[in-house]
Structure 1
Amino acid sequence: MSFIKVYIHFVWSTKNRCPFLATKEVRQKVWTHIKENAKEKGIYIDFINGYTDHCHCLISLGVDQSIQKVMQLIKGESAFWINKEKIIVEKFQWQSEYFAVSVSESMIDKVRNYIKNQEIHHSKKSFQEEYKEFILKYNFQKFDDE
């Protein structure tokens, strides 16, 4: 039996960064659904939250899980569910892009706290500003998933 502990901080946005997730109620429904659906698929979401136009997830990858597959399962199913349940009026889509960064054991609590405080954080800084900072700070490489 293999034992692994690999935490990844995922962030992805709504299509064209539209503020589809406008209310706390809508966001809470979506986050709860994503977490429950992920659990059914054997994906461990440690913490999830976001704001009107994006989602943050702290996930512990399983032994047979890849970043790409986890994102495909979470984003694809949740968009389908949001549209099926008519959670919002417009057709809902997630942006195809996402970013993912590994999180060391010593930083887990800091990342959880950061994800937890998204509303406070984004009252000071937009998602687009944050996104640009992340790309520059971590020197991300872009990969085409399709």
Structure 2
Amino acid sequence: MGSFTQLNYHIIYATKYRHPSIVPDIRERLYEYIGGTIRAKKGALVEIGGIADHVHILANLSPTLAVSDVVRDIKANSSHWMNDQSEI
């Protein structure tokens, strides 16, 4: 007999200094990028949303990874992606 684990997390994080930098022009692409980051960590994005200064994520995360490591990677990767977009 096998085992089943389903770990759902509601993750919320804000932009630096709560600056309203998640503008509508890039919001959907940012959400897609975050979803890709979660999938790369063997998770599944259930729902994502937010406003200009913060993001809400509902995700199923792998029980083999520390939540803090996954959140760190999501924040770091999305921050780098946002900085790359401002250079274009």
Q: TM-score, normalised by structure 1?
A: 0.54
In the aligned structure 1, how far is the partner of 2:86 from the partner of 2:30? Answer: 11
Quick one: which amino acid aligns to residue 88 of structure 1? S
How many residues align? The count is 86
1:4 equivalent in structure 2: 5
The answer on whether the counterparts of 1:21 and 1:53 sit within 8 Å (CA) in structure 2 is yes
Q: CA RMSD in A?
A: 1.6
In the aligned structure 2, how far is the partner of 1:67 from the partner of 1:41? Answer: 11
Q: Could you list the runs of 5+ residues in structure 2 that have no partner in the other structure?
A: none
The answer on whether the counterparts of 1:10 and 1:58 sit within 8 Å (CA) in structure 2 is yes
In the aligned structure 2, how far is the partner of 1:25 from the partner of 1:36? Answer: 19
1:88 equivalent in structure 2: 86
In the aligned structure 1, how far is the partner of 2:3 from the partner of 2:69? Answer: 20
Quick one: which amino acid aligns to residue 86 of structure 2? I
Question: 2:63 aligns to what SS in structure 1?
Answer: coil
2:18 equivalent in structure 1: 17
- 1:46-57 paired onto structure 2 within 5 Å: 46-57=46-57
In the aligned structure 2, how far is the partner of 1:42 from the partner of 1:28? Answer: 21
In the aligned structure 2, how far is the partner of 1:37 from the partner of 1:62? Answer: 13
Q: Deviations over 1:76-120 (max 9, x none)?
A: 111112223xx236xxxxxxxxxxxxxxxxxxxxxxxxxxxxxxx
With over 3 angstroms needed to count, the CA separation of the structure-2 counterparts of 1:33 and 1:73, relative to structure 1, is same
Q: Could you list the runs of 5+ residues in structure 1 that have no partner in the other structure?
A: 90-146
Q: TM-score, normalised by structure 2?
A: 0.85
The answer on whether the counterparts of 1:8 and 1:59 sit within 8 Å (CA) in structure 2 is yes
Q: Deviations over 1:115-140 (max 9, x none)?
A: xxxxxxxxxxxxxxxxxxxxxxxxxx
Question: 2:20 aligns to what SS in structure 1?
Answer: coil
With over 3 angstroms needed to count, the CA separation of the structure-2 counterparts of 1:78 and 1:34, relative to structure 1, is same
Deviation at 1:69, TM superposition (A): 1.1
Aligned identity (percent) is 27
